[in-house]
């Protein structure tokens, strides 16, 4: 999906999924993992003097019959802006625990993972009202999410040190 952010000073950004590469990635950690949503940021109209946007927000998982479930807040990132038509990538990341990944797995029931993204942008150099917000959605295919969860659990599998002695 595409989200158009309009700012009071006349600036406009178009946010969407990257044209290539993963839309969402899950990087394993020790009990806490990094969930990253990749965003394509296109400058539709630039405000004079504004050369970057601070992009952040939060993510929700949407499940059939259960309503949205809050996952967490993205760490805000600075994204450089160019002239109209220029594109820059952004990686919005948040920490997710083992329990959160397991809860997502139980709730999605083998289906794709639908995400609702509440995004906000701030143009710190703007002379007008510098903030805009909106919602975007992502649907991670079941196979894509399954492979990321399998990679996560495979990296976390620790061999039994006693088994090597027998």
Residue 124 lies in a domain: yes
Residue 137 lies in a domain: yes
Residue 164 lies in a domain: no
Question: Quick one: pLDDT at residue 164?
Answer: 53
Give the distance from CA 15 to its chain's centroid.
12
pTM (two decimals) = 0.86
Provide the domain limits for residue 44.
3-153
Residue 55 lies in a domain: yes
Q: Is residue 115 classed exposed, middle or buried when 0-12, 13-18 and 19+ CB atoms within 10 A define those classes?
A: buried
- How many domains does the structure of the chain reveal? 1
Summarised one tens digit per residue, pLDDT across range 29-76 is 888 999 999 999 999 998 888 899 999 999 999 876 677 889 999 999
CATH assignment at residue 122: 2.60.40
Summarised one tens digit per residue, pLDDT across range 8-34 is 878 999 999 999 988 999 998 888 999
Residue 158 lies in a domain: no
Pairwise CA distance, residues 105 & 96, whole Å: 13
Residue 159 lies in a domain: no
Residue 162 lies in a domain: no
Residue 165 lies in a domain: no
């Amino acid at each position: 999906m595409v989200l158009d952010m309009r700012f009071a000073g006349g600036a406009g950004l178009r946010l969407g999924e990257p044209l290539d590469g993963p839309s969402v990635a899950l990087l394993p950690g020790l009990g806490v993992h990094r969930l990253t949503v990749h965003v394509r940021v296109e400058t539709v109209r630039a405000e004079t003097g504004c050369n970057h946007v601070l992009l952040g927000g939060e993510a929700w998982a949407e499940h059939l019959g259960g309503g949205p479930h809050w996952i967490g807040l993205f760490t805000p990132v600075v994204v450089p802006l160019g002239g109209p038509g220029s594109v820059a990538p952004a990686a919005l990341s948040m920490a997710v625990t083992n329990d959160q990944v397991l809860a997502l797995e139980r709730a999605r029931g083998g289906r794709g993972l639908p995400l609702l993204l509440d995004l906000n942008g701030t143009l710190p150099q703007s002379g007008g009202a510098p903030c805009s917000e909106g919602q975007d959605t992502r649907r991670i295919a079941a196979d894509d999410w399954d492979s990321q969860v399998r990679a996560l659990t495979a990296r976390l599998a620790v061999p039994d040190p006693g088994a090597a002695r027998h």
